[in-house]
């Protein structure tokens, strides 16, 4: 009988991790979506789509949103990278 491999959930997409981190930061600060979007110079609808992981924002858009939130872009990226690290061993192909 063949070995059955356990089902693994696919890794989350970068845009989903980014959106989740931005939304968490905004909510932790008590910020309203409409206010942060205005400070970033984007529409509230677009910011909502970013936060839900539906849009892949440009680096300029990410910088505008982090600036509107008053957070450092590098710190946000480090937090996302730490969140996305696999729990187990990683097999790298040569």
Q: Spell out the domains of the chain, with CATH numbers in brackets.
A: 14-81 (1.10.260.40)
Rounded CA separation 73/32 (Å): 20
**pLDDT classification of 12: cutoffs 50, 70, 90:** confident
Structure tokens at 20: 């989740």
Rounded CA separation 4/24 (Å): 38
Say if residues 55 and 46 touch (Cβ distance below 8 Å): yes
CB-CB neighbours of 49 under 10 Å? 17
Q: Is 39 exposed, middle or buried (0-12, 13-18, 19+ CB in 10 A)?
A: middle
The stretch 31-60 carries a mean pLDDT of 97
Q: pLDDT tens across 46-81, in order?
A: 999 999 999 999 999 999 999 999 999 999 999 898
Rounded CA separation 66/36 (Å): 9
**Helix pair 73-84, 14-29: axis angle to 10 deg:** 120
pLDDT value at 94 more than 80 = no
């Amino acid at each position: 009988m063949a070995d059955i491999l356990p089902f693994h959930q696919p890794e989350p997409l970068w845009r989903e991790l980014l959106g989740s981190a931005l939304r968490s930061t905004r909510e932790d600060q008590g910020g309203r979506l409409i206010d942060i979007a205005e400070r970033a110079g984007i529409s509230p609808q677009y910011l909502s789509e970013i936060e839900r992981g539906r849009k892949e924002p440009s680096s300029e858009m990410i910088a505008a949103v982090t600036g509107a939130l008053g957070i450092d872009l590098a710190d946000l990226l480090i937090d996302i990278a730490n969140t996305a690290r696999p729990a187990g061993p990683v097999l790298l192909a040569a």
